[in-house]
């Protein structure tokens, strides 16, 4: 009887050990699965963020290409595949097929603006044929058979169309020499030859985002008729001038029955600042903690660099001080 009881106890102990081992193994498996599940969930979440950021960047590129009118969407699916991008060449694409794009509005719509067309073309001899008739480069562009012809006609559209007025009226860069040449041309058209022309140096803020000023100083000492002619031509100029202050002196000679009008004015002409388009790098963080840690690392690096510069400066000062003491 005692042997039977002992045997049962041994079997019970073995079963308990087996159950304990099974529970322990199950716990280990559950823990490993839980850790792996959390890891893969975070991994998939992070990759989802990366894919979403990449898709956003790709869509931005597509939208930029579409808005500017660089490539033609041949299959009309609203996207550009590798084949379409490989054939993408702004000088070869037919701009007339890219309606509602920046290049279409500039090279087609604005180029055919009759209010500005004559102003833009009058100064370009290559815009006229031998009979002094205007050449329709837009039509020649559409009928171009080679890439070189298309590129040339596209360039002439820019030179001979209303687009020419835009850089003349508001240049895309600061050019004092070109401004002085424009003022000199106005003076010559008015029958007045200035003794000296020089750029100013009192630059001021225009108050308009993206637009800067070039100071202009004008001095005219002629008879009343010629001075008024200069003012009239300045007002007619396609280049905008803002007169900030002016001093006018009028005098007459009763003996000769002549009058003299002296004008001294200070103002400014305008030009646009260059706009650089740069790619923007975007960092995708797995969590807010990672973002905070990176900011902390950057702050620590900046503080370390500042401390090193300070120590270097102190070492240089000590060295100079020591050299002076050695000289004494």
The model's pLDDT over 89-145, given as tens digits with 9 standing for 90+, comes to 777 777 777 888 888 887 777 767 766 655 555 556 677 777 877 787 777 887 888
Q: Strand ranges (DSSP E) for the chain?
A: 211-223, 241-253, 258-272
End-to-end C-alpha distance for the chain, whole angstroms: 112
Share of the chain above pLDDT 90, in %: 0
Q: Is the pLDDT of residue 328 over 60?
A: no
Q: What is the pTM of this model?
A: 0.50
| Domain residue ranges of the chain, discontinuous segments joined by + | 82-168, 173-272
Q: What is the mean pLDDT of residues 222-238?
A: 78
> What does the alpha-carbon distance between residue 33 and residue 27 come to, in Å, rounded to a whole number?
10
Q: Which residues contact 223 (CB under 8 A, 6 or more apart)?
A: 258, 259, 260, 261
What order of strands is seen across the sheet that includes strand 211-223?
211-223, 258-272, 241-253
Q: Is the pLDDT of residue 53 over 60?
A: yes
The model's pLDDT over 182-206, given as tens digits with 9 standing for 90+, comes to 787 788 777 777 766 666 666 667 7
Right CATH number for 173-272 from 3.20.20.150, 3.10.180.10, 3.30.70.60, 3.40.50.720?
A: 3.30.70.60
Closest to 240 (Cα-Cα) out of 133, 160, 324, 168: 168
Q: What is the DSSP string of 203-237?
A: --B-SSTTEEEEEEEEEEEEEHHHHHHHHHHHHH-
> What does the alpha-carbon distance between residue 117 and residue 162 come to, in Å, rounded to a whole number?
5
The model's pLDDT over 250-289, given as tens digits with 9 standing for 90+, comes to 777 767 666 777 778 788 888 887 667 777 777 777 776 6
């Amino acid at each position: 009887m005692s042997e039977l009881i002992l045997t049962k106890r041994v079997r019970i102990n073995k079963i308990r050990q087996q159950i304990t081992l099974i529970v322990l193994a199950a716990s280990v498996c559950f823990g490993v699965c839980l850790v792996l599940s959390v890891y893969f969930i975070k991994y998939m979440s992070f990759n989802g963020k990366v894919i979403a950021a990449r898709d956003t960047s790709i869509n931005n590129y597509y939208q930029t290409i579409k808005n500017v009118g660089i490539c033609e969407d041949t299959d009309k699916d609203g996207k550009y595949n590798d084949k379409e991008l490989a054939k993408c060449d702004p000088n070869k694409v037919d701009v007339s097929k890219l309606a509602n794009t920046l290049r279409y509005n500039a090279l087609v719509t604005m180029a055919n603006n009759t209010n500005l067309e004559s102003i833009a073309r009058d100064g370009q001899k290559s815009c006229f044929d031998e009979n002094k008739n205007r050449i329709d480069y837009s039509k020649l562009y559409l009928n171009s058979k080679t890439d070189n012809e298309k590129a040339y006609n596209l360039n002439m559209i820019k030179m001979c169309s209303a687009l020419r007025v835009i850089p003349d009226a508001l240049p895309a860069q600061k050019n004092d020499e070109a401004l002085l040449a424009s003022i000199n041309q106005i003076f010559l058209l008015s029958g007045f030859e200035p003794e000296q022309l020089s750029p100013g140096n009192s630059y001021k803020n225009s108050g308009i985002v993206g637009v800067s000023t070039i100071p202009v100083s004008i001095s005219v000492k002629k008879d009343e008729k010629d001075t008024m002619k200069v003012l009239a031509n300045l007002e007619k100029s396609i280049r905008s001038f803002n007169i900030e202050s002016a001093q006018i002196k009028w005098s007459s000679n009763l003996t000769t029955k002549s009058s003299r009008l002296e004008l001294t004015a200070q103002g400014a002409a305008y030009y646009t600042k260059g706009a650089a388009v740069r790619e923007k790098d975007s960092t995708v963080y797995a969590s807010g903690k990672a973002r905070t840690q990176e900011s902390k690392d950057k702050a620590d690096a900046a503080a370390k660099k500042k401390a090193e510069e300070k120590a270097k400066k102190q070492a240089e000062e000590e060295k100079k001080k020591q050299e002076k003491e050695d000289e004494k």
